[in-house]
Amino acid sequence: MTLMRVGHFKSIPWIPPYAAHDAWPVTFVDCVSSTVIDLLRQVDVTPMATVDWFPRQQDWCRLENHGLWIRERAGSVLLFSPWPIEQLGGKEIAISDETSTSVRVLHALLTGKYGLSLGTWRRGVVENDQHTPRLLIQNQAVHEIARRRFEYVYDLGHEWRKWQGVPLVPAVWVYRRGLSSDKTRFIADLLDSSLGEFSERTGVHIESHRHRNGWTASTQTVERLLRNFEYRMNVEAERGLEAMRSELPVVLPQLIK
């Protein structure tokens, strides 16, 4: 029997969906949010960055109410800067290679909320550079905030909610159109089981993922960060999804090197 191929994110916000990692009878395909679209032929079911799913809805369907949304603050979708955000007009910004959704959120915030003209943004972050503003997500953001190197740190989940009044939805779970209902139900049941398992043995699963993936953040830090996220979409999250569809650029107009 051929196992279903499931996109596997190793980053911190995704621990609950993969809590019972070793018990999943599937083939995991390791990826991050920015690489999923390059691996679509290799997966049957996967989390997908919201902005990547919008133009692919004809081929990829939502998996019930499974997704990832931010309650108030993400704690791991962060803009680091030596200057206040109001002074970033025309400045170069370094962008994490892992991000798809948050780079468009930052674009919308700077142009729509703050009315700034944008400079050139570049992919890739030089770790020792303490002068270039940078957008980091997930593990990279957690590591950078621990260094305390930048005077100004902006949480994009919080900035978005203050502006739009709805939560930010970084990703949704999707499956390839045409996948049988028994297979999609099977994966949805695995996700439900993992969420339940995680809630019962949170510390155990965080420790397991820390050791498996070599994370430096403490168990307490990770547990605190995970309280910022929800993994089942509700009415409020659906409103956030529609606001993103309306406000975020499909294609970034400024040059990203």
pLDDT band at 253 (very low <50, low <70, confident <90, very high): low
Q: Is 77-164 the same fold as 5-70+168-247?
A: yes
- Write down the domain spans for the chain: 5-70+168-247, 77-164
Q: 77-164 in CATH: which number? A: 3.40.190.10
pTM of this structure? 0.90
Q: 5-70+168-247 in CATH: which number? A: 3.40.190.10
pLDDT digits over 120-169, tens only?
888 877 777 778 899 998 888 888 888 888 999 999 999 999 999 999 99
Residue 2: predicted pLDDT:
75
Give the Å distances, CA to CA, from 154 to 74, 75, 115. Answer: 10, 9, 17
pLDDT band at 227 (very low <50, low <70, confident <90, very high): very high
Residue 193: predicted pLDDT:
96
Contact in structure between 156 and 105 (CB atoms under 8 Å): yes
Residue 254: predicted pLDDT:
58
From CA 247, how far away is CA 82, in angstroms rounded?
Answer: 27
Q: What is the mean pLDDT of residues 76-85?
A: 93
